[in-house]
């Protein structure tokens, strides 16, 4: 069956279109076809689509321009390039930057269906809520781990694998990449999901308090201990304990932590009774963990104990179209929260977002979008609502017109036709981008006899 995948085949060769349709429809896929990029975009105006197979060289709008347009308008869509052997190098180059994959002609059916299976699997992961309990899901900043970059699919698999194993897990990655989100996802998809999920940031406490926070204390064990207190290990019994920034844990505490991980036994500070806790531990760090071990800031035996399985989160700058995917999600969330009618980014804001390095990763992206939504007045987030540091080094892409002479009328008519095609003949938007009145645009369309080509 086709997992309800809706597929669009874009190619100026009707034989290729029909060959692919004949292959896919008997397998249960919903298939539509288009002769070029402009017709393909009109298909998206009519129905939601999941996967696009597109050729590169087509009249009016080719495959690469279509790919770029889809990246901006529909970042959740998977795009696969159809290419002959002569263009493989180009296809590989562009695939690494934007497309999901490429397929060589003549088509290999086995490889084609394996690729579609990958897309279908990714869609299943993506659509499935990683948190099955709605009440718990509300307590987290993000409802889901959002992403369609290939490395994110690997992470989804990894989460499922380690969740069922009940072993210690080490989550690594830069600040803001979503390490806590992964830790909670592991807990809520594991056999311990009915138990407590307890968190502790090792970098947020003075050295003198972390032992009490981990193991608890008895009344009178130190000056401010006015009552007995249970520690995080005791509170997490039967569930999961998440230790964030494990690289900041004081060295002298690590031996005590190692003992608890070995046999589950501990004593409260100032106490003599040995307690036992059945806890699954998940640790996280934004440091180079191997360098931290090398510098002896983490005991080597503790490192091996907490690293029974590991998950590394890539920085946002390496996740390609996930930037816009997450942006659209946050725009929706914060527009709802603030009662704003904001649909997304303006064209220039999109270019700024895609060229920016995002050193603060997903957390920074979320904060930037929230601030922009709060202060935006129209239906789009424009550059004037973005932080100055994002725009400081931004250089707009050069706009290139391919002309056959230096004729001024030719240049003007070519520019108008290009903008009209890019805006799908939305005259209001085209006039805005050309920075002329709509009436002036009407006059120039008539003057140069510019006509919309039928699909």
Give the DSSP per-residue string, 343-409: -EE-HHHHHHHHHS--TTHHHHHHHHHHHHHHH--SSEE-GGGS-HHHHTT--PPPP----SS--HH
Task: Write out pLDDT tens, residues 310-360.
Answer: 999 999 998 887 888 889 889 988 998 999 999 889 888 988 998 899 999
Asked if pLDDT for residue 419 goes beyond 70, the answer is yes
Q: What does DSSP assign to residue 269?
A: B
State the pLDDT confidence band at 90, using cuts at 50, 70 and 90.
very low
Enumerate domains of the chain plus CATH numbers.
Answer: 6-127 (3.40.50.2300), 137-312 (3.40.50.300), 318-391 (1.10.8.60), 408-447 (1.10.10)
Q: Average pLDDT, whole number, for the chain?
A: 84
Q: What is the pLDDT of residues 261-301, one digit of tens each?
A: 999 999 999 988 999 999 999 999 999 999 999 998 999 99
pLDDT per position as a tens digit, 34-48: 999 899 998 988 888
Tens of pLDDT, residue by residue over 427-452, are: 887 888 888 888 888 888 888 888 87
Percent of the chain with pLDDT over 70: 87
Alpha-carbon 394 to chain mean position: 22
Calculated CA dihedral for residues 42, 43, 46, 48, nearest 10 degrees:
-130
DSSP reduced 3-state for 264: coil
Q: What is the mean pLDDT of residues 167-177?
A: 95
Residue closest to 74 by CA, chosen among 2, 20, 8: 8
pLDDT per position as a tens digit, 102-161: 666 667 788 888 888 888 877 776 555 444 444 433 332 333 578 877 788 888 889 989
pLDDT on residue 347: 84
CA angle 23, 98, 395 (to 5 degrees): 155
Q: Do 168 and 282 touch, CB atoms closer than 8 A? A: yes
CB 132 within 8 A of CB 193: yes
Q: Is the pTM of this model over 0.75?
A: no
């Amino acid at each position: 069956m086709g997992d309800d995948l809706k597929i669009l085949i874009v190619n100026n060769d009707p034989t290729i279109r029909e060959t692919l349709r004949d292959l896919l429809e008997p397998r249960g896929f919903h298939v539509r076809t288009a002769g070029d990029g402009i017709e393909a975009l009109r298909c998206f105006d009519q129905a939601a689509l999941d996967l696009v197979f597109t050729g590169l060289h087509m009249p009016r709008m080719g495959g690469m321009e279509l790919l770029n347009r889809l990246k901006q308008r529909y970042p959740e869509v998977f795009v696969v390039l159809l290419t002959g052997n002569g263009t493989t190098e180009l296809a590989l180059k562009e695939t690494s930057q934007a497309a999901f994959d490429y397929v060589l002609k003549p088509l290999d059916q086995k490889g084609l269906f394996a690729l579609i299976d990958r897309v279908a699997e990714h869609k299943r992961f993506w659509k499935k809520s990683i948190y099955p309990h709605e009440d718990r899901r509300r307590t987290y900043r993000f409802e889901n781990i959002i992403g369609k970059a290939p490395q994110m699919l690997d992470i989804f698999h990894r989460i499922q694998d380690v969740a069922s194993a009940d072993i210690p897990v080490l989550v690594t990655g830069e600040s803001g990449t979503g390490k806590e989100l992964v830790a909670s996802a592991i807990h809520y998809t594991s056999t311990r999901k009915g138990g407590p999920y307890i968190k502790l940031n090792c970098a947020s406490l003075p050295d003198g308090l972390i032992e009490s926070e981990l193991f608890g204390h008895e009344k009178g064990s130190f000056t401010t201990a006015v009552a007995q207190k249970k520690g995080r290990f005791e509170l997490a019994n039967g569930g999961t304990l998440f230790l964030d920034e494990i690289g900041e844990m004081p060295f002298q505490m690590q031996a005590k932590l190692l003992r608890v991980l070995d046999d589950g036994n501990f004593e409260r500070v100032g106490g003599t009774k040995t307690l036992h806790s059945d806890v699954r531990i998940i640790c996280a760090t934004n440091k180079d963990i191997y360098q931290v071990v090398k510098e002896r800031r983490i005991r080597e035996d503790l490192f091996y104990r907490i690293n029974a399985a590991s998950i590394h989160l890539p920085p946002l700058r390496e996740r390609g179209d996930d930037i816009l995917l997450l942006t659209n999600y946050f725009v929706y969330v914060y527009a709802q929260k603030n009662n704003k009618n904001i649909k997304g980014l303006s064209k220039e804001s999109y270019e700024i977002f895609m060229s920016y390095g995002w050193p603060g990763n997903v957390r920074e992206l979320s904060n930037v979008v929230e601030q922009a939504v709060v202060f935006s007045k129209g239906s789009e987030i424009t550059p004037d609502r973005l932080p100055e540091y994002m725009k400081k080094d931004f250089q707009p892409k050069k706009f290139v017109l391919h002309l056959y002479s230096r004729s001024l009328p030719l240049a003007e008519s070519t520019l108008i036709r290009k903008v009209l095609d890019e805006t799908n003949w939305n005259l209001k938007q085209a006039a805005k981008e050309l920075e002329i009145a709509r009436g002036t645009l009407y006059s120039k369309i008539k003057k140069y006899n510019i006509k919309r080509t039928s699909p």
